[in-house]
Chains A and B, each alone.
Chain A
Amino acid sequence: MATAVISHEEEVRRLQRREGWKRRLPILPALLFTIAVTQIPFLFTLFYSLTDWRIDTVDPRQFVGVENYVSLSGDKFFLDAAWISVQMTVMAVMGSLIVGTGLALLLDRKFFGQGFIRTLLITPFLVMPVVAGFMWKTQMFNATFGVINWVLNTIGIDSIEFATKYPLASVVVVLIWQWSPFMMLIVLAGLQGQDASVLEAARVDGATAWGTFRQITFPQLRPFLELGTLLGAIYLIQVYDHIEVIVGGQPGAKNLPFYIAQRSIGGGNRFGLASSYSIIVVIASIIIANIGLRVLSGLLEDNS
């Protein structure tokens, strides 16, 4: 017979190859779309950051190497924005993590109306950031119509125009208000995932409530706290909406993303320079994400 004899092993390999493609195929559209919309533009940004491009002039775009980056160290606007970014991210993450953990501990108990209170507590996270900013600025912080100042007045303290006087703190307060629920949910998931029998064993062994928390609950909660810190940091380093609404163009709370947008699309037109700022933000995020991803992959390993 002239037909080629295909050995069993070859046939198995052929089938496995086909099976491999069958498994990969469904993921390709999502993968390609994501690469096209996120990864490729990023490469463009990287390229822009090495040029002196101002899109408002007719001058040709010139390749300037790392000049933009070198100039950053003496760029007062950049350094201010970067410092604001650091303060804002750290304060908002820590603040919401602390408040969120407290809320989670309070909620992780049976009491009348538990579900109702939990629903109230998660609501700030669902509120449109622009609305949250507007609401706090005009109805809480405002010197004449603001509720906080009204309370201060009744106890004999003069009104304070919070958003102008303490712009950074004002933004951070609203961020904590919006992000505490998120942290609360993550910590709550950790608390409720605890193995009841371990806690019971601890009680049988004579551990106090505080001892149980410190020695059993907290170590179990740690990955969740780390996860919350990671996700919170990644989102909060990018805050824009709250700043735009609460402080707008005024100085005092402009972080890097706000400043980048202002100096490029927002009218500054310095695309080359602004791109180098962007790259700095990306690098900071990569550092946070790298630490965080290690935590996440630890979680995946433990549970698979």
Chain B
Amino acid sequence: MAEVRYEAASRLYPGSEIPAVNELNLDITDGELLVLVGPSGSGKSTALRMLAGLETVTSGSVHINDVDVTLKPPQDRDIAMVFQNYALYPSMTVAENMGFALKQAKVPKEKRNELVREAARILDLEPYLDRKPKNLSGGQRQRVAMGRAIVREPQVFLMDEPLSNLDAKLRVQTRTELADLQARLGVTTVYVTHDQVEAMTMGDRVAVLKDGKLQQVDRPRTLYSRPANRFVAGFIGSPAMNLVEVDRQKGGFSLGGVDVPLNDETTAAVAAASGSSMTVGVRPEHLALGSSGLAGKVTVVEELGSESYVHVSVSHQGSDEVLVVRSGGETDIERGDTVHIGFNGPMHVFGTDGERLGS
């Protein structure tokens, strides 16, 4: 059982000015499933590979169980990794793949077979133990990669987009199985994905990265309800939060000529901030179509069955802004209709530097 800690860990590639991972501080508690999420180039995979020992930590340090492993080679870190393309050894059978690490650790054959069989049982791989990877389906390969990791009973699991090569349906199914397996085994896990839905559904906590910098690390719900900055607000949630630039003024803001009040705490924070403008964010479910309020024209209706998302173009500060509004399913609203939008939920306000203002 293990805790993982990044202390101001950075990775600067030779010949590059900007670190791929920039002073990352992160505490991961024992048994936790922490998801690193971010767009491509955010440094999430690099951060994971620094923990694996596959990337040099150019400054700062990485600890597993209070042991500084910064300079240790991968094999001395007691970790297991699941790769995006599974990295199964093509010349070995499923059983040999799963037992390879144990063989390297000179575990006796009897014991090895037993552990492999046990892992295969957990993952429903028993019928395939003698097959080569190329004779397996994508989902089976993914499970073998998982099996190879769990058979070693490592301190930490590292997973680098392990589901991204599966088709959409299998991905959703495997997602829950994987989270369940992790909870049952109770092994600390660091999981990398670019898919924010995967991050939100799987992670005990989610760390959002952008340009090598940690933006926010929190439980999924907090991340959703209190994004720390403009980037996290826009990145987490599907469909994305509506973000509109407005003039900074006391007590509220004006959107398309309609005045919207803010709560006291936010108002105070706005008053203390600098700059002439700020960004206001509202989630689609916190907007409602009604008979009065902000007027706009419907451009797109996304009908999802149980609910629908209505894209409304409103005129704001001389240009058109599109707001996405959640509405009930089986709506009669059509493209071209004129509708009115009301505000009925929490507002998120971000200053000119993108940081959150108020609660």
Determine whether A and B are in direct contact in the complex, meaning some CB atoms lie less than 8 angstroms apart. Answer: yes
Q: Which residues of A contact B (CB under 8 A)?
A: 8-9, 11-12, 15-16
Q: Let me know if B352 is at the binding interface, CB within 8 A.
A: no
Interface centre among A11, A12, A15, by most chain B C-beta atoms within 10 angstroms, is A12
Mark B309-350 against chain A: 1 for CB-CB distance below 8 A, else 0. 000000000000000000000000000000000000000000
Give the shortest distance, in Å, between B206 (CB) and chain A (any CB).
29
Assembly CA distance A202 to B96 (angstroms): 47
Given contacts A8-B70, A11-B71, A16 and B61 within 8 Å (CB-CB): no
Question: Would you give the 0/1 interface string for B258-286, flagging 1 where the beta carbon is closer than 8 Å to chain A?
Answer: 00000000000000000000000000000
User: In the complex the two chains form, is A16's CB within 8 Å of B59's CB?
Assistant: no
Bound complex: CA A11 to CA B57 (Å): 11
In the complex, which residues of chain A have a beta carbon less than 8 angstroms from the beta carbon of B58? Answer: 9, 12
Which residue of chain B is the closest to A11 with respect to CB atoms? Answer: B71
Q: Cβ of B61 and Cβ of A8 under 8 Å apart? A: yes
B71 touches A16 (CB 8 A): no
* B56 within 8 Å of A (CB atoms): yes
Chain A residues within 8 Å of B56, by CB: 12, 15-16
CB neighbours (8 Å) of A11 from chain B are 71
Q: Nearest A residue to B70 by beta-carbon distance?
A: A8
The interface residues of chain B lying within 8 Å CB-to-CB of A12 are: 56-59, 71
Task: Kindly supply a per-residue 1/0 record for chain B positions 33-63, scoring 1 wherever the CB is within 8 Å of any chain A CB and 0 otherwise.
Answer: 0000000000000000000000011110100
Which interface residue of A8, A9, A11, A15 has the most chain B CB atoms within 10 A?
Answer: A8
8 pairs, CB–CB < 8 Å, chain A vs chain B = A8-B59, A8-B61, A11-B71, A12-B57, A12-B58, A12-B59, A15-B56, A15-B71
- B59 proximity list for chain A (CB < 8 A): 8-9, 12
Which chain A residues border B61 with CB–CB below 8 Å? 8
Give the residue name and chain of the B residue nearest to A19 (CB). B56
Least CB distance from B229 to A in Å reads 30
A23 to B137, CA, bound (A): 36
Residue of A nearest to B68 (CB): A8
- By a CB distance below 8 angstroms, the chain B residues around A15 are 56, 71
The complex places the Cα of A15 from the Cα of B56 at a distance, in Å, of 9
Contact size range, B: under 10
Q: How far is the CB of B5 from chain A (nearest CB, A)?
A: 15
A8 to chain B, nearest CB (A): 7
How far apart are the CA atoms of A15 and B70 in the complex, in Å?
12
A16, B71: Cα distance in complex, Å: 11
- Minimal beta-carbon separation of B71 from chain A (angstroms): 6
**Interface contacts beyond A9-B59, A15-B71: sample of 12 additional A-B pairs, CB < 8 Å, sorted by A:** A8-B59, A8-B61, A8-B70, A9-B58, A11-B71, A12-B56, A12-B57, A12-B58, A12-B59, A12-B71, A15-B56, A16-B56
Report the separation of the CA atoms of residues A15 and B58 in the bound assembly, to the nearest whole angstrom: 11
- In the complex, what distance in Å separates the CA atom of A8 from the CA atom of B62? 12
Task: Report the minimum CB–CB distance from A143 to chain B (whole Å).
Answer: 59
Bitwise interface map of B from 287 to 323 toward A, beta carbon under 8 Å scored 1, else 0: 0000000000000000000000000000000000000
Task: State the CA gap A12–B280 with chains docked (Å).
Answer: 45
Give the distance in Å from the alpha carbon of A8 to the alpha carbon of B10 in the complex.
Answer: 12
Closest to B60 in A: A8
Residues 179-209 of chain B: 1 if any A CB is under 8 Å from the residue's CB, otherwise 0? Answer: 0000000000000000000000000000000
CA distance A288 to B151 in the complex (A): 57
Chain B window 120-150, contacts with chain A (Cβ cutoff 8 Å), 1 for yes, 0 for no: 0000000000000000000000000000000
Distance in angstroms between the alpha carbons of A11 and B58 in the assembled complex: 10
A residues less than 8 Å from B70 (CB atoms): 8
10 closest A-B pairs by beta carbon, nearest first, are A11-B71, A12-B58, A12-B56, A15-B71, A9-B59, A16-B56, A8-B59, A8-B61, A8-B70, A12-B71
Give the docked Cα–Cα distance between A203 and B212 (Å).
Answer: 45
CB distance from A135 to the nearest CB of B (A): 43
Query: Which residues from chain A contact B57 at a C-beta distance below 8 Å?
Result: 12
Residue ID in chain B nearest A7 by CB atoms: B59
What residue in chain B is nearest A9 (Cβ atoms)? B59
Closest Cβ of chain B to A10, distance in Å, is 11
Chain B nearest Cβ from A184, distance in angstroms = 31
Report chain B residues within 8 Å CB of A16: 56
- How many angstroms from the CA of A236 to the CA of B70 in the assembled complex? 56
CA A8 – CA B56 in complex, angstroms? 12
Q: How far apart sit A31 and B71, CA to CA, in the bound complex (Å)?
A: 31
Cα–Cα, bound, A304→B227 (Å): 39
Chain A nearest CB, measured from B151 CB (Å): 30
A89 to chain B, nearest CB (A): 42
Chain B residues, CB < 8 A from A8: 59, 61, 70
* Closest beta carbon of chain A to B73's beta carbon, Å: 10
* Chain B nearest CB, measured from A266 CB (Å): 52
Q: How far is the CA of A15 from the CA of B59 in the complex (A)?
A: 13
A11, B59: Cα distance in complex, Å = 10
Distance A16 CA – B70 CA, assembled complex (angstroms): 13
CB-CB under 8 A from B71, the residues of chain A are: 11-12, 15
A12 to B53, CA, bound (A): 13
Q: Once the chains are docked, how many angstroms separate the CA of A16 from the CA of B56?
A: 9
B 56-87 binary contact with A (CB < 8 Å = 1; else 0)? 11110100000000110000000000000000
Q: CA separation between A266 and B61, bound complex, in Å?
A: 69
Alpha-carbon separation in the docked complex, A39 to B163 (Å): 52
> Min CB distance, A194 to chain B, in Å?
26
CA distance A197 to B150 in the complex (A): 41
Closest chain A residue to B61, Cβ basis: A8
Q: How far is the CB of A19 from chain B (nearest CB, A)?
A: 8
User: Cα distance A12–B50 when bound, in Å?
Assistant: 13
User: Can you name the residue of chain B whose Cβ is closest to the Cβ of A16?
Assistant: B56
A302 to B184: give the CA distance in the assembly, Å. 47
Q: Scoring B residues 225 to 266 as 1 if CB is less than 8 Å from chain A, else 0, what string do you get?
A: 000000000000000000000000000000000000000000
